[in-house]
């Protein structure tokens, strides 16, 4: 059996846990600026039609009494770590999809935890207790995508089990849009041929359907027939963490660009430290005023979470970019090939490392302290002076985008 566990209104719930006076009130987490977007809405806010990914302005219009909070990612990460620790206790095969949801392969766990439903209830209770009151919803079935659909059926704080053998029955009456990969466009085209619910699709022969919709059609056809051979994959490579800024004023020249890279490398390093990750590949992205975007990447000899190492690599990459007579509107620094510190795959240690550079565990410790200080007091608290004033949070002059594709 495969569980899909999804935390309920995760960011908002964490905020409520932190401040119990918010309980029962509509809470929106997200940027409150002109271009802010809702990251999470409490169920009380959803009643008013607020939902995540909505422009904050729209959400506030729908629910003027909502309490708007700026996201505090460190808090959510911390809570997420607790949640995943619980997952790890229930299954050796956990596939994290994002900060607040995961697949757990529970095959063969009956002896340990009892029937799937009992195990799921125990897990939900465990999550609630470990996190100090956060709830989650669980979907149970033999098939990955069905578990995912099921977990959303009884949200929040719910449990839905699709018993083995009843998958087709379960899928039949569902709106076709519930299937992975059916967006508004596909839904429209499917409606044209009379497919509104999943069961409708089964009236077509496979060839007929594939002829109409191509490879994508074959995929949908398989899903509609409850066929999804994907297994729960633990080793899924985390993609990367990056930080990029689009500047309101164009940037030119090595010195200015380097200052930007230092600021960005510092932010990326902070995120790595908080997530207890190391990155092996450093990427540089740079876009000039003609919208020509270039990217460069290099692989480090040793995975790192240190701002200085990431910065130096980014500067090296910058050297291969033609800076002559060009002004840039965007730069970004990212790391990929992430691995957990200690939890990653076994890593062969280098015998000669001690010769090449003196042992300095201090660098790691320093990075941890710097990150902790910034996490607590904000980015303006401690920052490399060379990054310039613009590096400071709140300083206008750039629109930032941070990506954590490390689900």
Partner 1 sequence: MEFEIDQSRFLAALSLAQTVADKRGTMPVLANVLLRANADGSVVCSATDMMTSLTETVSAEVKTPGSLTVGVKHLHGVVRTLSSGNVRVKGLDNHWVQLNAGRSEFKLMGMPESDFPELPDASGGKSKLEYVEVPAHALSDLIAKTHFSVSTDEARVNLNGVLFECDGEKGTMVSTDGHRLTKFELDLPGPKLDKGIIIPRKGMLEIRRVLDRVSGEVGLAMGDQHLFVKADDMVLSVKLNNVTFPPYKAVIPAAFQRFALLGRDDLLHSLRRAEVMAPEKTATVRLSLNPGKLELTSDNPDLGVAHQELPIDYDGEELTAGFNARYLIEVLDVIDTQEVRLEFQGELDPCVVKPVDGPDFLGVVMPMRI
Binding site for partner 1 (CB under 8 A): 342, 345-352, 354-355
Question: Cα–Cα distance between 317 and 102 in angstroms, integer?
Answer: 36
Question: Cα–Cα distance between 354 and 350 in angstroms, integer?
Answer: 8
The nearer residue to partner 1, 237 or 350, going by C-beta atoms, is 350
CA nearest neighbour of 330 among 373, 294, 380, 365: 294
What is each CA distance from 375 to 129, 143, 173, 277, in whole angstroms? 25, 39, 47, 16
Q: Is 101 marked active-site?
A: yes
* Residue for token pair 């077509």: 204
In this structure, what are the phi and psi dihedrals at residue 213, rounded to the nearest 5 degrees? Answer: -120, 5
From its phi and psi, is residue 259 left (phi > 0), alpha (psi between -120 and 50) or beta? alpha
Torsion, Cα of 162, 79, 97, 200 (10° steps): 40
- Residue 100: CB atoms within 10 A of its CB come to 24
Structure tokens at 73: 């990612």
284 touches 317 (CB < 8 A): yes
Residue 176, burial from CB neighbour count under 10 angstroms (0-12, 13-18, 19+): buried
- Residue 174: CB atoms within 10 A of its CB come to 16
* Residue for token pair 């629109």: 399
261 touches 311 (CB < 8 A): yes
Residues annotated as catalytic are: 101
């Amino acid at each position: 059996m495969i569980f899909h566990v999804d935390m309920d209104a995760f960011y908002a719930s964490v905020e409520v846990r932190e401040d119990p006076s918010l309980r029962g009130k509509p809470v929106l987490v997200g940027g409150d600026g002109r271009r802010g977007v809702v990251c999470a809405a409490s169920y009380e806010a959803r009643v008013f039609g607020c939902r995540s990914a909505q422009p904050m302005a729209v959400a506030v219009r729908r629910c003027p009494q909502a309490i708007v909070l700026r996201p505090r990612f460190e808090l959510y990460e911390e809570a997420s770590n607790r949640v995943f620790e619980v997952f790890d206790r229930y299954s050796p095969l956990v596939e994290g999809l994002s900060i607040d949801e995961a697949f757990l392969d529970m095959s063969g766990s009956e002896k340990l935890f009892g029937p799937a439903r009992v195990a799921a209830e125990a897990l939900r209770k465990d999550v609630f207790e470990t996190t100090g009151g956060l709830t989650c919803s669980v979907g149970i079935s033999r098939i990955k995508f069905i578990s995912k659909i099921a977990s959303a059926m009884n949200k929040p704080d719910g449990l839905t089990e699709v018993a083995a053998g009843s998958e087709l029955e379960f899928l039949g009456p569902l709106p076709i849009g519930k299937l992975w990969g059916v967006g508004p466009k596909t839904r429209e085209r499917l409606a044209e041929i009379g497919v509104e619910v999943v069961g409708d699709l089964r009236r077509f022969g496979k060839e007929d359907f594939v002829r109409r919709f191509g490879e994508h059609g074959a995929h949908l056809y398989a899903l509609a027939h409850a066929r999804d051979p994907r297994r729960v994959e633990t080793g899924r490579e985390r993609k990367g963490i990056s930080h990029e800024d689009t500047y309101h004023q164009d940037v030119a020249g090595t010195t200015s660009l380097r200052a930007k890279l230092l600021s960005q490398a510092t932010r990326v390093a902070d995120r790595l430290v908080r997530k207890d990750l190391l990155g092996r590949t450093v990427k540089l992205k740079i876009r000039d005023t003609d919208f020509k975007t270039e990217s460069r990447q290099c692989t480090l000899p040793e995975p790192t979470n240190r701002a200085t190492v990431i910065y130096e690599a980014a500067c090296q990459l910058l050297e291969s970019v033609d800076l002559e007579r060009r002004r840039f509107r965007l730069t970004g620094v990212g790391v990929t090939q992430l691995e957990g510190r200690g939890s990653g795959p076994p890593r062969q240690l280098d015998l000669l490392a001690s010769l090449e550079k003196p042992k300095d565990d201090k660098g790691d410790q320093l990075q941890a302290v710097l990150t902790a200080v910034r996490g607590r007091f904000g980015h303006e608290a401690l920052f490399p002076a060379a990054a310039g004033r613009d590096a400071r949070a709140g300083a206008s002059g750039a629109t930032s985008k941070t990506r954590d594709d490390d689900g």
